[in-house]
Amino acid sequence: MMQKGTDGMHIIYYVTSHGYGHGVRTVAICNEFSAHVRITFRTILPEAFFREEMHRDFSYALAAFDCGCIQKDCISVDIGQTLAAYRSIARKNEALLNDEVTWCREQGADAIVSDIAPFAFEVAAACGIPSAAVTNFTWYDIYEEFMHSFPEYRPEMEKILSQYVSATLLLALEPALPMGYFKKRLSVPPVGRQGRNRRAEIVKKYGFRSDRHIGLIYLGNLGIAGMDWRKLADLTEWEFLGIYPFGDAPPNYHLIRKADFPYQDLTASADCMISKMGYGAVAEAMIHGTPMLYLPREHFAEYPYLDAAVRSWGGGYSIPREEFIALDWKKTLEKAILYGRLKQVRSDGPKICARAIENPSGR
């Protein structure tokens, strides 16, 4: 870790352990901070990820204070395990509060940011420093939906809500849920990384015809069971790119190394994304004007908001789970590329967040 300095603002940035999407939007924001700002990431996302994505110095302190959702696959949540895991973590957090407050003071923290571990806001309040939530949803929104089946976890919900309420500022990353329990809200355009179209380089490197359509497949590291990836070969007018290997994938699927092409460049180069529905995929699709074909998602409160946003934008194409798993994509892909790329949405969300975080009290 970097040594604590005497000048400049020091931000402790808590990042949920739920997945890389939260990390991706975190680094997009942190790369926009002013030069005088020092950053310490408090998370269990791998330090190597931040080393790859950050364009400036930072510190890293390994810790986890939430569990997000425990998933069966890339779209299915194990509700019982999720709530049980969070209860266990919340009890540990309660015991660790004084130690975490002491640690933040020792680091010389001037502000705390969280995406979106609720415990971080309790720590900030105890430290007497401002805090900012950076998110399109909270774990209160997600878990609240589960309470009709698991009412025994209501005390944990009340605690989570009180922690979020203590935040100084909400930076609501659009498309965002209402989250009306925060004291102050600033709506921010979609936050993602800005890539560049490198289609010609991709065609040359992987040796396929330049008139083929390019599809970018992303289902996360969990994937989804029951897919016969050999059927990609039936989509003869398409070449597919991805960052995870698929068993028995045909020659028109190309495994991409991040060192060769950053993911945001793939998004900028593809004719269509084929993805699970998540904030990061939606934000970067809209920023680059890339239509997306996606799976419906149950038991996740952000889904209706993301679904409505991409449909309103004009580039969202939901496909039933059965058709998706069967790789019955042809008709939907044809619809998605019929009008070419879409209008790109504003891409200055990361900069807006960075400026607001540097002054979370609004003074």
Q: Are residues 216 and 264 in the same domain?
A: yes
Is 341 a member of any domain?
no
- Distance in angstroms (rounded) separating the CA atoms of residues 361 and 240: 46
The set of residues, in sequence order, having a beta carbon less than 8 Å from that of 42 and lying 6+ positions away, is 12, 13, 14, 15, 61, 63, 65, 120
Crossing angle of helices 303-313 and 279-288, rounded to 10°: 10
Is 2 a member of any domain?
no
The whole-number pLDDT of residue 5 equals 42
Q: Are residues 95 and 132 in the same domain?
A: yes
- Distance in angstroms (rounded) separating the CA atoms of residues 25 and 48: 16
Q: Which helix (H) or strand (E) is 121 found in, with range? A: helix 119-127
Is 112 a member of any domain?
yes
The whole-number pLDDT of residue 127 equals 98
- Structure token digits, residue 107: 């680091």
For 205-219, give the DSSP string.
HHT--TTSEEEEEE-
Is 126 a member of any domain?
yes
Q: Are residues 107 and 212 in the same domain?
A: no
CATH number, domain with residue 240: 3.40.50.2000
The set of residues, in sequence order, having a beta carbon less than 8 Å from that of 3 and lying 6+ positions away, is none
The whole-number pLDDT of residue 1 equals 26
- Distance in angstroms (rounded) separating the CA atoms of residues 71 and 18: 10
Q: Are residues 170 and 244 in the same domain?
A: no
Amino acid at 248: D
Q: Could you give the number of structural domains in the chain?
A: 2
- Distance in angstroms (rounded) separating the CA atoms of residues 121 and 91: 16
User: How long is the chain?
Assistant: 363
- Within its chain, how far is the Cα of 147 from the centroid? 24
Is 209 a member of any domain?
yes
Is 363 a member of any domain?
no
Q: Are residues 187 and 278 in the same domain?
A: no
The whole-number pLDDT of residue 362 equals 53
- Within its chain, how far is the Cα of 56 from the centroid? 20
Q: Are residues 253 and 155 in the same domain?
A: no
Q: Are residues 203 and 91 in the same domain?
A: no
- Distance in angstroms (rounded) separating the CA atoms of residues 4 and 59: 9
Q: Are residues 239 and 182 in the same domain?
A: no
Query: Checking phi first, is residue 109 left (phi over 0); if not, alpha (psi -120 to 50) or beta?
Result: beta
240, 291 Cβ separation under 8 angstroms: no
Other Cβ atoms within 10 Å of 52 Cβ, number: 12
Amino acid at 360: P
313 closest CA partner among 358, 349, 283, 279:
283
46 lies in which domain range?
9-192+348-358
- Distance in angstroms (rounded) separating the CA atoms of residues 322 and 157: 34
pLDDT by 10s per residue, the chain, length 363: 233 344 699 999 999 988 899 999 999 999 999 999 999 999 999 999 999 999 999 999 999 999 999 988 878 899 999 999 999 999 999 999 999 999 999 999 999 999 999 999 999 999 999 999 999 999 999 999 999 999 999 999 999 999 999 999 999 999 999 999 999 999 999 999 999 999 999 999 999 999 999 999 999 877 788 899 999 999 999 999 999 999 889 999 999 999 999 999 999 999 999 999 999 999 999 999 999 999 988 888 999 999 999 999 999 999 999 999 999 999 999 999 998 899 999 999 999 999 999 975 555
Q: Which helix (H) or strand (E) is 59 found in, with range? A: strand 59-62
Q: Are residues 87 and 231 in the same domain?
A: no
282 closest CA partner among 305, 299, 298:
305
7, 36 Cβ separation under 8 angstroms: yes
Q: Are residues 50 and 184 in the same domain?
A: yes
Q: Are residues 51 and 111 in the same domain?
A: yes
Dihedral through CA 72, CA 114, CA 347, CA 329, nearest 10? 0
Q: Are residues 165 and 215 in the same domain?
A: no
